[in-house]
Amino acid sequence: MFLIAIPQLGDPNFARSVVLLLHHGSDGALGLVINHPSPLEIGSFASEHSLPCHSAVKGQNIFKGGPVEPSRGWILHGDESAKERQSVMPGLFVSGSVETLSGLLADGAKPFKLLLGYAGWGPGQLEHEMEMGSWLTVEPGLKHVLQTPASETWTSVLRDMGVDPARLAVATGIH
């Protein structure tokens, strides 16, 4: 599912974020913020790690997948030929291997998103945040993960839900 942060969620790591939830169970939850680009570009990253990189992807940004373990990499992609992959939903996989990343970087034609870090919640923490109304939830859409520009993702997901983003104004008053 997607978790969509409401404006009242005070954590700057999740401002206007859309999180693709990969795991949710009694042991906690794990997801990837799909719409927070970092200033790092794929070409620089590939060069630093001696990885091949097609010119078509060199200028793309790497994304901040979340505040936990920012040195850990994740790849969201639709490449069914990747040997190391786990299905997230039809047409979308998550991988973490250098082999998969190298293939996608060298190819340059298959859409993918490289993310560093992840969003994590301890047992019961996400449920508590949801009870407090910090997140809206909806089934994920593939177009929002790999096609929608990051600056438009939050608004686009809300509109697809039938929610006017302008109506999610920051609440005021006594709680």
Q: 137 and 130 in contact (C-beta within 8 Å)?
A: yes
Residue 81 clears pLDDT 60, i.e. is over it: yes
Chain segment 17-35, per-residue pLDDT in tens: 999 999 999 999 999 999 9
Distances in Å between the Cα of 85 and the Cα atoms of 12, 64, 75, 159 are 31, 20, 9, 31
Residue 171 clears pLDDT 70, i.e. is over it: no
Structural domain for 22, as ranges: 2-167
Query: pTM value?
Result: 0.92
Using CA atoms in the order 66, 67, 71, 76, what is the torsion angle rounded to 10 degrees? -10
- Do the domain assignments include residue 132? yes
Tally of structural domains, the chain: 1
Residue 173 clears pLDDT 50, i.e. is over it: no
Chain segment 111-155, per-residue pLDDT in tens: 999 999 999 999 999 999 999 989 999 999 999 999 999 999 999
- Do the domain assignments include residue 173? no
- Do the domain assignments include residue 175? no
Q: What is the pLDDT of residue 172?
A: 44
For residue 104, what is the domain's CATH number?
A: 3.40.1740.10
- Do the domain assignments include residue 172? no
> Rounded to an integer, what distance in angstroms lies between the CA atom of residue 91 and that of residue 104?
15
Taking all residues of the chain, what is their mean pLDDT, rounded to a whole number?
Answer: 93
- Do the domain assignments include residue 174? no
At position 17, the amino acid (one-letter code) is S
Q: 66 and 32 in contact (C-beta within 8 Å)?
A: yes
Residue 92 clears pLDDT 60, i.e. is over it: yes
